[in-house]
Amino acid sequence: MPSGNVPPGFDTSTCRSVYVGNIHNNVSEALLQEVFQSTGVVEGCKLIRKEKSSYGFIDYFDRRSAALAIMTLNGRHLFGQPIKVNWAYASGQREDTSGHFNVFVGDLSPEVTDAALFACFSTYTSCSDARVMWDQKTGRSRGFGFVSFRNQQDAQNAINEQTGKWLGSRQIRCNWATKGAGSNDDKQSSDSKSVVELTNGSTEDSQETTNDDAPENNPQYTTVYVGNLAPEVSQTDLHRFFHALNVGVIEEVRVQRDKGFGFVRYSSHSEAALAIQTGNARIFCGKPIKCSWGSKPTPPGTSSTPLPPPAPAPAPFPGLSPTDLLAYERSLALARLSSGQALLQGQHAHKQPALGVGAGASQVIYDPGFPNVAAAQQQLMYY
């Protein structure tokens, strides 16, 4: 299977979703779904619009269709603009770092990404993950992130050696996050407090003041609000979805099925922040969910008892093996492709081709110099 540009610990063998970047603003969600249906049956499609170029996520029913999309659609032109297609690694396929030692990194410059942050700390062999926190409203970096280590000494060395080093256009600051200080004698009385203090530290070019009581800065907020839930989503379904994100320890899950929302409480503020960043806008039961902070902080003294892992999801089509489903989905994709090619051949003489993928749109949308789906399927047989 193609690996693409993926984070450490990412397992492509279990991923069914792709990220689509650099999407032209003329592309609609319906058109995006139609384009990606050429490689397999699409379970869900979400388009997030931005001022200059948009991005989106496509969820398939099987990973082979997702791999096919990466191989055949990456670099294709939609309205003259090449799209970027890669594994949607924010879907929870990263390595489980809940038992790792976590370091808070503050004063990040706006251009620093997850990849850049990981590259900075990858000199430590046990570095397992790196995440930059993003503002859900503005889409910009919040100026801090978290780096995970399998080894406590590497985490301590990173704090000692990387504080004050330049990353991008700023000098970064490092300290223990909520988990990770372990037996360190100099551990501060409240790791959560240290995260807030570092986050609230001012920089020379900062023009904004920080509200310490805001949920994103208050360590007492550990609950994630989850909106736009499908009516059939149960408490177990929601637990299973957030458990798969692997961002922390879940202590409580509640669902208001008649109102279409629910709540997931984590053991720490940083874990809840990661859950919001990772889960927001993901497709769940055919709908993009909305993740944000709960309206109230977790009361002091609340029982901290991790929930046991949820039961595995039942088979979507009882009585059919994975091989049967894969063969069915592949036949649908090939039938759709054959139909589209026939329509394209029959409509080359039209002066005004339609915008649909199956209606002669290749001259408007596609760059024809890329391998077709059938050729890519032959290539996939050797993975």
Q: How many CA atoms lie within 13 A of 337 on its CB side?
A: 20
Phi, psi of 73, rounded to the nearest 5 degrees:
-110, -15
User: Structure pTM?
Assistant: 0.36
pLDDT in the model for residue 216 = 74
pLDDT of 252 over the 50 cut: yes
**Across residues 327-338, what is the average pLDDT?**
70
Distances (CA, A) of 172 to 108, 158, 162, 165, 309: 6, 11, 7, 6, 36
Nearest to 81 by CA among 373, 365, 368, 372: 365
Instruction: Identify the residue whose tokens are 């996520």.
Output: 57
- pLDDT tens sequence across 83-108: 888 777 643 445 667 778 999 999 89
Work out the pLDDT band at 372, boundaries 50, 70, 90: low
pLDDT in the model for residue 375 = 56
Instruction: Identify the residue whose tokens are 């990220």.
Output: 19
Judge contact between 170 and 109, C-beta under 8 A: yes
Work out the pLDDT band at 222, boundaries 50, 70, 90: very high
pLDDT in the model for residue 218 = 80
Two tokens, residue 111: 């251009």
Judge contact between 249 and 306, C-beta under 8 A: yes
pLDDT in the model for residue 249 = 92
* Length of the chain measured in residues: 383
Phi, psi of 243, rounded to the nearest 5 degrees:
-60, -35
Two tokens, residue 139: 């889409």
Judge contact between 131 and 104, C-beta under 8 A: no
Nearest to 35 by CA among 18, 49, 50, 12: 18
- pLDDT tens sequence across 13-63: 667 888 888 898 899 999 999 999 999 999 889 888 887 778 888 999 888
